[in-house]
Structures are given as structure tokens and as C-alpha cells.
Structure 1
Amino acid sequence: MNRPVDRSIDIRQLRYFLVLAEELNFRRAAERLHLTQPPLSRQIAALEAALGTPLLERRGNSTRLTEAGQQARQRFAEAVAAFEAAVRSVGSAAARPRAKLRLGLPWWVDMSAFAQLEQRLGGSLPPLEPVLGPGPELLAQLQRHELDAALLTMPHELQGLRHQRVARLAHVAMIPASSALARKRALRLRELEALPAFLRFRKQQNPALWTHFQRLYDAAGFRPARELDAPGTSATIAQIAAGRGCTLMPAAFARQKYPGVAARRLLDDIYVELHLVLGERLEAPLAQALQAQADLLAGALA
């Protein structure tokens, strides 16, 4: 008697397995999926438990497919392709002209530049409805299908969502205009140690992004004497204008002028990568149109 398939298996697990079957390396597969290794390992273990058979065999540092894993690689690829074709087919049959396309944007975007972007896009996309917010919030809205797509600063755990890199965003120092450092056109990160405090977002808000920045700070030898939680944009700018600290922001943020605050170029390479992340329900023609306009999207934010 055949063993029934566990209903807890989902399409995301199959996608994870297929990437791992290509890489045969958990670290590389996790990087491709924008996951850390533990959640990837848990999903694969859950898939194997649901199937009742091991799909991979680890020997020291090497990983190989079992006989069941080799069969699963072919069958799961067929299943995922069939699933995506079915979704496209149903979506096409039910498609109506869109009134708008909801696009998530980082909270620091200069909306005047975004207005120019809409003009340049012309009729290639439906009217864009921008939704501004912090990265984790935009990602959550994507996963709840409240957004069609979003521009996210990486890294984030994208849980298998389609994405592509569109830009590399350099950061600048936001410092008090009254500081002696403001007399310079460019600064080393370590020079900011002379200011009263360094304001940054809490690690709990986005652990992966916080760790990315910390690695860059360590590489630059930056060790501020005092770190404080950034209390939100307006309050952070007010603190800097009052001479109480400094922070780093994407260079696009510095297009806007803030009384009492000076933006200065950094001589150290502090950056984030910007990715266009597509919602699961975004129709294929719109997804392709957005991807084709990636350079324009990047230009509005870089």
C-alpha cells in the first residue's frame, strides 16, 4: 500500500530543494535563496520527514543526492514548472486591466525623483502607487500580497520570492553642520568617532542588514565610543542638527537639505545592494516590464 503524501509539503520547499540539488552545498544554496543555513536546513529536513525518505546525504564537507533525491530533482522540477504554468494560465484568464501597480519603496526615497521616474516610464506600466516604509515592513506586505513589488535594500530573507539586483547604493555621513568635520568634503569613517554618538537602527529591526553594516564598520576600523538607537528619521535629523551625534544614510537621502545637518562623502566603502523583489501574484507581463525598467528604477534611487 502506497504511503500517502504529507499535506504539509508546500511549493516553497520544492523550490528550496531544487536550488540545493543544483549547488550540493548548503551555504551556496542559502546565499542564492537569501536565507541563512539553519532555516534552509529546517525546510529540507521537514520535506524529507514529510516524504519519509532522505533526499541528500552528507559526508564530511560534501553533499550528494540519494537515489530518491535524484528522482525528486526531476519530478519536483516538473511539478514546480506545472504549478507556475497553472498560475500564469489562471492569472491570464482572469486578468483585467490594472488601475495601479503598488510598488514598495525605501522610506528615504526622494519622491521628486520618483515623479520624474513615472514620466520616463510612460505607458510601459500601469500608474504606480508608491508605498514607503522600512525594508522588513515592505517585505511583510509583499508576503501578504498587499504590494505587487518592492525595492529592498539587501540582505533580507526573501523566502523564495523572485528578485534581481538593480543598484549598489553608496552611503554618506550625516553630521552636524556646526562640527569641524563639516569643513571637509569627504571623511574617513573613523573620523566620526570624534562626534558625541553614532545613531543607528536597532539590530532587532533587521538582523541581517545590521550585521552587513557591522562587517563594513569593522573592516574600516570604525569603533564609535557611544552608539544610540536612531529614534526615527525626523528625530534623528533633529539630534544631528543639535550636535548630538551622526549617522549614515544612502547618498540619495542627502539630496534633500536639512537645516543644521551636513552630508559628507565617505572615503570608506559603505553600501547596500538594492534589489527589485516581485510579489508571487504579479502577472508575468508586468513582472517582465518592471524588470526591463530596472535601470530607471535604480536611477531614481541611486
Structure 2
Amino acid sequence: MPAWCRTLRASGFGEPLMLLLSRHLPSTRTLQCFLAVAQELNFRRAAELMHMSQPPLSRQIRSLEEMLRVRLIERDTQRVSLTEAGEAFRQEAQAILLALDAAVATAKARFHDGKAAAAPLRIGLTSVINPSLMPSLHALVTDPAWTGGRALERAWSRQLVERVRAGELDLAIVGDIAAPGADLALEPLAHEAMIVALPAHHPAAAGEEVDLAALGELPLFWFARADNPAFYDKCERGFRRLGYAPPRRPEPKDFTLLLAAVAAGEGVALCPQSMRATSRIGVAYRALPPAVSRLLSIEVQVVARAQETRGAVLDKLAQLRAALGRS
């Protein structure tokens, strides 16, 4: 019998209590990090799956091994593998998280708060797209009956995913992210074409369609890979295939600042076609050739919790599928 059990009995508690509030137990986040590494056997891909950088992921694994005083993962310059203890712990950790998820779902289904259930859902919408030029989506996100009278919360896709994971949002409409882990469900809804924003005085702006080669050596305002690794890598593969390798400049976080820089002739930008609703003197929006547009298109997705059982959330998901053409 563990020493802490003997201590409890000696103190008059009778049968030992399961003390779950202990500093000697790993957090669910730590378990998720470990399972991501165990699944991918690659720290970079595991970090992307968890939407974090590699150093904090490595620290989570190191602290878990120090807590357990057991090596779980063997890692060298060639490969990552689980030790015998790591494989055994993977099975236990996965069972724990599945059981916890089931317990949460059961509690919500059986003992839900009627007032909370009737409250408007919290919905996020990526700031990468402008729904005003996507009629079906625009009709939903501006319909008070669908939003519950609440304004949708706008942020980068990566931030919205983390807020759904933390329970701060019930679902979020995002753009071209990688699978976010077993605790969340990601579903594709539609594709949105990319267009180019270029200085209105540039010779390529004279036509209705612009090939990337016509942009010459104009710098490309582009986002950091950490903002959306999946879409960044997809575009990089497309650029290599197209032979497009312009100088890069950091993309301003504010779209109006980005357009101001383009109007000043400092570079060009690639953006979803819905963003052309934001006009700016000195900026011309032009279509890309169809093959290029398809190659660089953004997949519009919806993310929710994997074990979601609430009827209100499931109804919203069904309405999104119907509006954007997915069955």
C-alpha cells in the first residue's frame, strides 16, 4: 500500500481517498503534448498539432519524465521513438483523456444548467476572410437568429482554435489549419480563391488577371509560419511548383496597414477574394489564373469539440454545412 494511503488511514479517514488535487499529477495539457509526440514521433509535427512551438513542447515532455522519473521518449538526430515505458504510458494516458472526455459529456448531458443551455452560443470567425463576399456564409453570420444576437468574435484561426479548446468558444469558422488534435473536430466547409493586391500603377494591374511571374521582383508581404503552419506550408509548396520566389516582407497584422503599404508601392499581397470588399485608393485587386488560384485557395473549416453533444451546437454545424454546400 502506498505511504500516502497508510497515512490517511492512520489519520482516521478509513478507506483511502483518491486525492486528485495533487502536484504530483500531470495536467491534461501535458498528457495531450505527450500523446501528440507519441502519435507523430516528430517534435515539429507534434508542436504544430498542438499549435505551439517546439521549445515549450519539449519542456512539457521533459517535466513529465522528471515527474515520473522514467524516460518515455528516445530522441536523437535521426529519429524519435517511444521507450517500453513510453508505450505503456501512452495507452494509459489515452484512456485517461478519453474517460475524462466521456465524464464531461455525461455531466453536461445529464446535469446541464438550463439557463446556460439557453444562453447564446459563442462563435468565432477568422479575421483572414471577409464573409461579405461569401453570400451563404454572410447570410448566416449576420442573422441574429443564428448568432443569438451576439457579435461573432474575430481573431486569427490559431487563436480561435485555442479558445474552442479552452471552452471559451463553442465553435469557430477558421481557415486552412492542420488537424488540431483528438480533443477537437475539424470539418471542411468550402474553398475560397486567393487574389493578388498590387499597386494600381503597376503594369500588371492593366489586365483583369495577373500571373505571379508578371509581378517581377516586387516584395511579397507574407505572414509568419507560426501564424498558420498548415496553410504556410501549402502555399510554399505552391510557390515552388510555380517558380515564384519573391523577396519577403513581414505582413502587417492590420489589413488596412497592409493595403497602405501596397498602395505606396512597397510590395504586393495575396489575400482571400472576399477581402476585396475592403477598398483602398492606390490598390488594385486582380484575379490569379484559375490553376494558380486553386493551388493557393483557402479551405474554410469549422472547429468544435470532438465529443460535442449539445443540440444547439450540432444544429449550428448542420446549418453551416447546408449553407456552404457540404452534406
Shorter-chain TM-score: which interval? 0.7 to 0.9
Matched positions, count: 296
Q: Which runs of 5+ in 2 are unaligned?
A: 5-21
Kindly, what percent of the aligned residue pairs are identical?
Answer: 27
Take 2:151 and 2:157, find their aligned partners in 1: how far apart are those partners? 17
Match of 2:81 in 1: 63
Match of 1:99 in 2: 119
Measure how far apart 1:250 and its partner are.
0.8
Task: Give matches, 1:15-34, under 5 Å.
Answer: 15-22=32-39, 33=50
Relative to structure 1, the CA distance from residue 207 to residue 126 in structure 2 (aligned partners, 3 Å threshold; closer, same or farther) is closer
1:117 has 2:140 as partner:
yes
Structure with bigger strand share is 1
Q: Supply the AA of the counterpart residue of 2:113.
A: A
1:278 is aligned, of 291, 295, 304, to 304
Take 2:74 and 2:163, find their aligned partners in 1: how far apart are those partners? 37
Give the secondary structure class of the aligned counterpart of 1:174: strand
Give the secondary structure class of the aligned counterpart of 1:101: coil
Match of 1:133 in 2: 155
Take 1:181 and 1:227, find their aligned partners in 2: how far apart are those partners? 20
Match of 2:198 in 1: 175
1:242-262 CA-partner distances (Å, limit 9, x unpaired): 555421101222356555533
1:54 is aligned, of 64, 71, 87, to 71
The TM-score with structure 1 as length reference comes to 0.73
Match of 2:103 in 1: 86
Q: Supply the AA of the counterpart residue of 2:272.
A: P
1:76 has 2:97 as partner:
no
Q: Supply the AA of the counterpart residue of 2:122.
A: R
Q: Which runs of 5+ in 1 are unaligned?
A: none
Give the secondary structure class of the aligned counterpart of 1:230: coil
2:229 is aligned, of 191, 202, 208, to 208
- Computed over aligned residues only, the root mean square deviation of the Cα atoms, in angstroms, reads 4.3
Take 2:154 and 2:58, find their aligned partners in 1: how far apart are those partners? 33
Give the secondary structure class of the aligned counterpart of 2:105: helix
1:295 has 2:321 as partner:
yes
1:249 has 2:275 as partner:
no
1:35-94 CA-partner distances (Å, limit 9, x unpaired): 66655444333322222223345686462440x334334432332222112212332313
Take 1:49 and 1:170, find their aligned partners in 2: how far apart are those partners? 48
Relative to structure 1, the CA distance from residue 135 to residue 164 in structure 2 (aligned partners, 3 Å threshold; closer, same or farther) is closer
The TM-score with structure 2 as length reference comes to 0.68
Tell me if the contact between 1:104 and 1:151 (Cα under 8 Å) persists in the aligned partners. Answer: yes
1:232 has 2:254 as partner:
yes
Tell me if the contact between 1:101 and 1:127 (Cα under 8 Å) persists in the aligned partners. Answer: no
Take 2:86 and 2:231, find their aligned partners in 1: how far apart are those partners? 36
